[in-house]
Amino acid sequence: MSTPFAHGLVIGKFYPPHSGHHFLIRSAADSCARVTVVVMAARHESIPLAERVAWIREHWADQPQVAVVGIVDDLPVDYDSPELWDGHVALMRQALATGRHETAVDAVFSSEPYGTELAHRFDAAPVLLDLGRTTFAVSGTKVRADPVAHWDEIEPPVRAWLTRRIVVLGAESTGTTTLSRDLATALRTRGGAHALTRWVPEYGRELTVLKLARARALAAPDRPAPGVAELDWDDGDFETVAHRQNRLEQDAARTGGPVLVCDTDALATTVWQERYRGRTTAPVRDLAAALPPRARYLLTTHHDVPFDDDGLRDGEHLRPWMTTRFREVLTASGVEWVEVSGDRRTRLDCALAAVDRVLGEGWGLADPLG
């Protein structure tokens, strides 16, 4: 494909990036030897500049001719103000100077009417695409107002940032896995973007299976096979659990729907470490502190669920203590949480009501400067 231009410029807030933005960048990449994308974000906006830059860089990582740079722009927008035009363009030139391409551009790609004036100020050709938004009927305003309706227009890292995370936790054999699976299944039946709802399993259970298998493989043949109560847990095990749980969650958030259902998380790991080790350690607390925002926690209680010894459990006598400890930790976290009890259907109804409240609250993204 021919590239009639040497250096193309694409500017925008990318708040957040969506398919229309990538159409612009793709058009520039197909038409220019080099492209610079300038991301301009105001400080009061809800999505940090660094996140937007990283998301676009990830998408275009296999196109070395595309450079992505960012700059803070707290100036209001007024297309009738020459002074504000001068201010915005000065910031764009400053951003260009930080990129790996030359500062001179010969084409400006835009899907906004202001693209003509912007190109004039760079002494460049205005390439105006899809002004009527008929090719990509999406905008940052629409995505911010209703991410669910435009879920298919945003890329995996943006989805992960916007995903509303629901975490189910509780003591041993209190129905956390049953409830979290039921909740994810019920959300999928709603269709649309919710059909993509992912469920994140508990890595600690996986590690328990592995530790038990290793212990039995190493046991003396003339001794009884060790059970879960004989397993040794050290602090490194809980660091591994928290790290792997975080990774599983983030991977699922990138490929799932607007709600992610998690069967435990790293905050719960701090309680499990306390249960087995008598205290939590800084590495595990740090992994819990680094978690993306939780939309809601759902705490399952032990009152309505008989203890089921499935061969991987040994803490029936500790369930009341763990339930109390989870209440204390959740309250201290500052995140909203709901305690669920009753039979299976009642618990699911309570969980669905909590999710609907979360979705009804919206995303609360600040409006850009006008």
CATH superfamily of 163-361: P-loop containing nucleotide triphosphate hydrolases (3.40.50.300)
Q: Please tell me the predicted confidence (pLDDT) of residue 223.
A: 83
Given a cut of 90, whether residue 310 has pLDDT beyond it is no
Residue 94 in tokens: 């400053």
- Distance spanning both ends of the chain, measured CA to CA: 39
Q: What is the CATH topology of the domain spanning 5-145?
A: Rossmann fold (3.40.50)
- Distance CA(279)–CA(67), nearest Å, equals 47
- Between 142 and 220, whose confidence is greater? 142
Closest CA to 370 of 125, 42, 61: 42
Q: At residue 269, does pLDDT exceed 60? A: yes
pLDDT at 303: 84
Between 273 and 134, whose confidence is greater?
Answer: 273
Give the C-alpha separation, 339 to 287, whole Å: 24
Three-state DSSP string of the chain: CCCCEEEEEEEECCCCCCHHHHHHHHHHHHHEEEEEEEEEECCCCCCCHHHHHHHHHHHCCCCCCEEEEEEECCCCCCCCCHHHHHHHHHHHHHHHHHCCCCCCCCEEEECCCCHHHHHHHCCCEEEECCCCCCCCCCCHHHHHHCCHHHHHHCCHHHHHHHCEEEEEEECCCCCHHHHHHHHHHHHHCCCHHHHHCEEECCHHHHHHHHHHHHHHHHCCCCCCCCCHHHCCCCHHHHHHHHHHHHHHHHHHHHHCCCEEEEECCHHHHHHHHHHHHCCCCHHHHHHHHCCCCCCEEEEECCCCCCCCCCCCCCCHHHHHHHHHHHHHHHHHHCCCEEEECCCHHHHHHHHHHHHHHHHHHCCCCCCCCC
Domain residue limits, the chain: 5-145, 163-361
Residue 312: is its pLDDT beyond 70?
Answer: no
Percentage of residues in the chain having pLDDT higher than 90: 86
pLDDT, tens digit (0-9, with 9 covering 90-100), for 187-198? 999 999 999 999
pLDDT at 173 over 60: yes
Q: Is the pLDDT of residue 311 over 70?
A: no
Banded pLDDT at 126 (limits 50, 70, 90): very high
**The overall pTM is greater than 0.85:** yes
Per CATH, 5-145 and 163-361 having the same topology is answered yes
Calculate the average pLDDT of the chain: 95
